[in-house]
Structure 1
Amino acid sequence: MIYGYIRVSSDRQTVENQRFEINNFCEKNQMVIDRWLEETITGTKNVENRALGKLLNKMKKDDILICTELSRLGRNLLMIMGILNQCMSKEVKVWTIKDNYRLGNDINSKVLAFAFGLSAEIERNLISQRTKEALARKRAEGVILGRPKGRKSSKTKLTGQERKIKELLNNKVSYSAISRILKVHRLTITNFVKTNKLEVLKQ
């Protein structure tokens, strides 16, 4: 059996690019995917709690798992190595497209998998460290990061309702009644009118 595996970290990410790459690879190598597995989940979640874990338990000797790159399997060295070790012990092959690896049960595959996983882990740690250093440097320079403490967003539940509120006020509708109409607290109406200076027409 040949399995195509696709993983994205969130539903905002598209799976189509990964599917296209795998299909294109199979077409060039005269292969056909027997079963697809797609999941939207972070790569840091334990493989036992992922659909991939259930698939690995079912796979048999000489089955092939194809994905675009090893990082689709997991986001840290230990997880990737654990998955590859499980595949190798069952004599399941793991093929990746971007990395161009053909991982089997031989020592060369194990060395290559370890080298890739280690380099990926080091790179992630370096990126994290550079980010922390950059933030620390900005703090030392007096740069305020994020929204200033105590500062509220300029947008509220009533943003965009200014005209409607003014019309109600002009028709002498009370704040309490307006709050019920717009389904907010009366004080929210009061503060919004005051903040946005919604003047009432003089009769």
Structure 2
Amino acid sequence: MTAPRSRRTARPADAPLRAIGYRRVSTGEQADSGAGLEAQRTALVAESARQGFALEVVTDAGLSAATLDRPALTEALDRLDRGEADVLVAAKLDRVSRSVRDFAGLLERAQRNGWRIVLLDLGDTSTPAGEMTANIIASAAQYERRLISQRTKEGLAAKRAAGVRLGRPSVLSRDVVARIVTAHDGGATLVTIAAELTAEGVPTARGGAKWYPSTIRRVLLGQDAAAVRAAA
């Protein structure tokens, strides 16, 4: 679904183009370590200086490019539509999107609402040549992502067929894992289990004080939870 045409804020003719530099890394490990983020910032700053952009950098850390539904990117696109910025700049196309359909819609949205997309690995996508190149690269990126997904599923299926236990082993005590499994199998929700463990001061696998439903889900999918169920 494409965004409706917006009324853009006027920019003084002699003012520099306002650019939103977008950075993204795809995994929690990269987000925690900063791997790749500083390199992206350096590239964005250099390109903005070369083109005379007034740059502001925003970041989505630990999020994939499978969809455009990312907080920093969503806010940046809304601001571009409103005319609060003129250019979206990213180090590479795959930092913005790996979906041909999503990226095509993004190009259409930019053209309709009067802003530009500049990708350092492709150039200015507002030109016909830039748009064609961007669409070709986006198509290849989507194809690669689907191949990786297919190979991963096939690999997991082969391991299951060979009797390999899957899932990350828990580092929690057996008693805590058993309690979580028993509570969940007895009908307790993830939210309820997390709240009870937090209230009782039971530490998480990493020694944290607060449990989340997502944390409980990871325990239930782990090897120790499978062992508890098998022994029941």
TM interval, short-chain normalised: 0.5 to 0.7
1:113 aligned residue: 134
What RMSD in Å do the two structures reach over aligned CA positions?
Answer: 3.4
Shift in Å, 1:46: 4.4
Shift in Å, 1:2: 2.5
**1:89-136 deviation line (CA, Å, top 9, x unaligned):** 234221112x232211x4333322221111110000111111122222
- 1:85 counterpart letter in structure 2: E
1:128 counterpart = 2:128: no
Q: How does 1:90-105 map to 2 (within 5 A)?
A: 90-97=113-120, 99-104=121-126
Q: Percent identity?
A: 24
Contact 1:87 1:93 in 2 (8 A): yes
Aligned pairs, number: 154
| TM-score, scaled to structure 1 | 0.60
Give the whole-Å Cα distance in 2 for the aligned partners of 1:31 and 1:71: 24
User: SS at 1:2's partner residue?
Assistant: strand
Shift in Å, 1:153: 4.4
2:20 aligned residue: 3
Give the whole-Å Cα distance in 1 for the aligned partners of 2:105 and 2:119: 16
**1:4-25 deviation line (CA, Å, top 9, x unaligned):** 1223445425232211121233
From the superposition, tell whether residues 121 and 156 of structure 1 become closer, same or farther in structure 2 (CA, over 3 Å).
same
Of 158, 173, 188 in structure 2, the residue corresponding to residue 156 of structure 1 is: 173
Give the whole-Å Cα distance in 1 for the aligned partners of 2:56 and 2:172: 48
Q: How does 1:1-203 map to 2 (within 5 A)?
A: 1-9=18-26, 10=28, 11-12=31-32, 14=34, 15-27=37-49, 29=50, 31-40=52-61, 41-47=63-69, 50-59=74-83, 63-97=86-120, 99-104=121-126, 106-140=127-161, 142-147=162-167, 153=170, 155-156=172-173
User: SS at 2:78's partner residue?
Assistant: helix
From the superposition, tell whether residues 8 and 52 of structure 1 become closer, same or farther in structure 2 (CA, over 3 Å).
farther
In structure 2, stretches of 5+ residues that fail to align are 1-17, 176-199, 203-232
Q: Which has the larger radius of gyration?
A: 1
**1:161-183 deviation line (CA, Å, top 9, x unaligned):** xxxxxxxxxxxxxxxxxxxxx97
Give the whole-Å Cα distance in 2 for the aligned partners of 1:48 and 1:147: 27
Give the whole-Å Cα distance in 1 for the aligned partners of 2:80 and 2:143: 27
Give the whole-Å Cα distance in 2 for the aligned partners of 1:139 and 1:157: 24
Give the whole-Å Cα distance in 2 for the aligned partners of 1:13 and 1:56: 30
- 1:54 counterpart letter in structure 2: D
From the superposition, tell whether residues 54 and 131 of structure 1 become closer, same or farther in structure 2 (CA, over 3 Å).
same
In structure 1, stretches of 5+ residues that fail to align are 159-181, 185-203
Runs of 4+ in 1 over 6 A off after TM superposition: none
